[in-house]
Amino acid sequence: MAISFRRHLVNEVKRIGRRENLAEDKAFLFWFAVTILELSDDDAREAISVEGANDKGIDLFWKDDDEGRIVVAQGKYSNDFSFRPKIGHLAKLQSSLDWLINPEALRRDGKIDLAQAAEDYVDAIKENYGVELWFVYAGPKCPNIDKQISVYNQNPENLSKQRIIRHYHAELIEANWLESKGTSSRIDHERIAFIDKAPKPLNGDFGEAIVVSIPGSEIVKIYARHEEKLFDRNVRLFLGARKGSVNAGIAETLRDPNSSKYFWAFNNGITIICDEFKPGNKFVELNNFSIVNGCQTVVSLSQAPGENISRVSVLARIIAASSEIVNDIIQFTNSQNPIRTWDIASQDRTQRRLQTGFGQLSKPYIYLTRRGARPKGNLKKYRADGKLKQIRIDLMGQYAAAFRGYAVLSYKHKAFIFSKYHDDVFPPDVRVDEVLFQWICGEIARATVQKTICSKTENEARILRKGGTLFVLSAMSKILSLRNGATYLNDCKETAIQSRSLGARLRKYAEYARDLYIQAVQDQCQLEGAELATLIRQPDFNRKVMDRIERQYGKDSRAVQWLKEALPKINLR
């Protein structure tokens, strides 16, 4: 394992532990959630904060509405990467589902947050979500654990209930980290057997290609050797198997002895890109290759009953592509699974205009409307303090929705932001300067919440872990409007928005909004005799909280001198 990765992870775990006031195992899972699961800091914070979960085998719980899956993880950390997992650890993770199926038992046991997670789990199962148990540890791959996981994943009951265990040992974690940093490499060399003789290669402007049929057993062997490294250039890893999804259809076909005979005809096959291929008699040599489309097919094959694999073959396109079109091949071949609503919204006229506008600012930002969609060429103009200034479209949508008063929507239903609520959150005439202001306010709210979680009491921290950034941002927006007038954003200018003096003033608004939000939530919980986890799901939750905040601001604003110092007016022109 590369020393650079070890050093990076050890330093990150220490940094996150200090910042979030977390033990090493939890800090490790926080890093994993952000880097591998690609959660935001706020979502990662909530995912690992299930109170009292450790004794139930749950270190992380996440309901992924975008992919239709529940993720339950257990993490084990060792700063010298020597952790040796035991079968008991894995057994405890498996048994966590027995607890999650019974929310009332957890509530009687005094585990309120975990009980709420269990209710999410039960609701998700009713909606046919897949269930993924992630066993994550900083140590070498354990063959016994791998064997147990393989048995679990091929158990007919688990297959029918769409349950799977993912095995994330240190080597695989590093491979995914390299991929996230854009420094991973393809697989150097492999020899793959196929059915019948090699056809004559096809030559074209795209490069050279052959089309062959590969036995399912051969694909399973290759996956066992390389795991997720096979998918270095794939835009998505395995997405689970929610009932009714493409992946569920693949899995069901492979489980059925009759249907599996027709797998070749039913499945779209896989696409492999490489630098070079050399066909032989019933085999092909590949150099520097990656599967760019077909991850779902390959992983589903690896989990299928062994007796059915022998009758399965898969169509494979092998392309030695010119470097100029590799990215286009990846994009155009990845259309089998549904794309997210913000992927579709990225082609909306307003979003395209915003993307252009962010790039034309005097201090420009990269507006990431699709993963990896960075501008080509020198990115120096997008850097500040050694970091790229990037805005992810999905997070921007959440910030914009919360800023406009749709805090519950942004917290629980972000997919709707880019469908039925898109024009409310991003009006067709919205200016890039206004959206930039919302982004900066969102980032300041996020930093304020993050800092506060470690310094406030545990009860206050628990409130902020539940979508704190978005609700504080919503409160901050309300207070900005009350203090500066409803039209304060009219004619706002980039130079004022990105000034240091404004940033200092906005931090005061964020801190005041945080304090009022915490107090309003505590009052509302006491008034209704309910926990935040229950209240936060109510459609009128944010309205009730904002009403309390507005009334409190009205009282505080009577102290004119205090108001001038605590919440100085802002000028965005």
Q: Are residues 361 and 323 in the same domain?
A: no
What distance in Å separates the CA atoms of residue 29 and residue 364, rounded to the nearest whole number? 33
Residue 495, token pair as written in the block: 């130079």
The answer to the question of residue 572 being in a domain is no
Higher local confidence (pLDDT), 341 or 410:
410
Q: Which residues pair with 72 in a beta bridge?
A: 61, 133
Instruction: Look at residue 20 in the predicted model and tell me its pLDDT.
Output: 85
Q: Are residues 369 and 475 in the same domain?
A: yes
Q: What percent of the chain has pLDDT over 70?
A: 87
Q: Are residues 298 and 347 in the same domain?
A: no
Buried b (16+ CB within 10 A) or exposed e, 33-44: bbbbbebbbbbb
Q: Are residues 422 and 383 in the same domain?
A: yes
Q: Are residues 417 and 544 in the same domain?
A: yes
pTM of the model: 0.65
Label residue 176 by pLDDT band (50, 70, 90). confident
Q: Which amino acid is at 23?
A: A
Label residue 391 by pLDDT band (50, 70, 90). very high
- Helix, strand or coil for residue 366? strand
The answer to the question of residue 34 being in a domain is yes
What distance in Å separates the CA atoms of residue 465 and residue 43, rounded to the nearest whole number? 8
Quote the longest CA-to-CA distance of the chain.
87
Q: Are residues 249 and 272 in the same domain?
A: yes
**Residue linked to tokens 């039913």:** 266
Mean pLDDT, residues 67-95: 92
Q: Are residues 201 and 139 in the same domain?
A: no
The region, left, alpha or beta by phi > 0 then psi within -120 to 50, assigned to residue 563 is: alpha
Q: Are residues 328 and 351 in the same domain?
A: no
Mean of all residue pLDDT scores within the chain: 85
What distance in Å separates the CA atoms of residue 408 and residue 543, rounded to the nearest whole number? 10
Residue 92 has pLDDT above 90, yes or no: yes
The answer to the question of residue 409 being in a domain is yes
Q: How many domains does the chain have?
A: 3
- Closest by alpha carbon to 159, among 243, 268, 72? 243
- Helix, strand or coil for residue 198? coil
Q: Is 261 exposed, middle or buried (CB count within 10 Å of its CB: 0-12, 13-18, 19+)?
A: middle
Contact criterion met (CB below 8 Å) for 470 and 546: no
Q: Are residues 201 and 163 in the same domain?
A: no
| 308, 333, 358 - which closes a domain | 333
- Closest by alpha carbon to 217, among 318, 308, 315? 308
Digit-coded pLDDT (tens) for 471-525:
999 999 999 999 999 999 988 999 999 999 999 999 999 999 999 999 999 999 8
| 125, 155, 177 - which closes a domain | 177
How many C-beta neighbours within 10 Å does residue 543 have? 13
| 133, 154, 177 - which closes a domain | 177
Contact criterion met (CB below 8 Å) for 63 and 70: yes
- Please report, for residues 185, 379, 392, 506, the alpha-carbon distance to residue 358 in angstroms, rounded to integers and kept in the order given: 31, 14, 12, 21
Q: Which amino acid is at 288?
A: N
The answer to the question of residue 49 being in a domain is yes
Residue 160 has pLDDT above 70, yes or no: yes
The answer to the question of residue 573 being in a domain is no
The answer to the question of residue 216 being in a domain is yes
Label residue 169 by pLDDT band (50, 70, 90). very high
Contact criterion met (CB below 8 Å) for 464 and 455: no
Contacts from 261-269 at CB under 8 Å and sequence distance 24+?
A: 261/311, 263/216, 263/312, 263/313, 263/314, 264/213, 264/312, 264/313, 264/314, 264/315, 267/297, 267/314, 267/315, 268/294, 268/297, 268/315, 268/336, 269/294, 269/297, 269/314, 269/315, 269/316, 269/317
- Helix, strand or coil for residue 370? coil
Residue 533 has pLDDT above 80, yes or no: no
Query: Highest mean pLDDT range out of 43-57, 172-186, 241-255, 486-500?
Result: 486-500
What distance in Å separates the CA atoms of residue 316 and residue 128, rounded to the nearest whole number? 31
The answer to the question of residue 571 being in a domain is no
The answer to the question of residue 417 being in a domain is yes
Residue 171 has pLDDT above 90, yes or no: no
Query: Highest mean pLDDT range out of 3-7, 58-62, 278-282?
Result: 58-62
Digit-coded pLDDT (tens) for 349-390:
899 899 999 999 999 999 988 655 567 678 889 998 888 899
Q: Are residues 355 and 243 in the same domain?
A: no
Instruction: Look at residue 207 in the predicted model and tell me its pLDDT.
Output: 82
Handedness of CA 77, 132, 37, 125 (dihedral sign): negative
Chain centroid to CA 34? 7
Host domain of residue 131:
3-177
What distance in Å separates the CA atoms of residue 149 and residue 102, rounded to the nearest whole number? 24
Q: Are residues 42 and 145 in the same domain?
A: yes
- Please report, for residues 58, 59, 74, 375, the alpha-carbon distance to residue 96 in angstroms, rounded to integers and kept in the order given: 6, 10, 10, 44
Q: Are residues 257 and 383 in the same domain?
A: no
Buried b (16+ CB within 10 A) or exposed e, 73-90: bbbbbeeebebebeeebb
- Please report, for residues 7, 10, 227, 240, the alpha-carbon distance to residue 79 in angstroms, rounded to integers and kept in the order given: 9, 6, 24, 30
Instruction: Look at residue 113 in the predicted model and tell me its pLDDT.
Output: 80
Instruction: Look at residue 320 in the predicted model and tell me its pLDDT.
Output: 87
Higher local confidence (pLDDT), 256 or 241:
256
Instruction: Look at residue 334 in the predicted model and tell me its pLDDT.
Output: 54
- Helix, strand or coil for residue 155? coil
- Helix, strand or coil for residue 361? coil
Contact criterion met (CB below 8 Å) for 404 and 424: yes
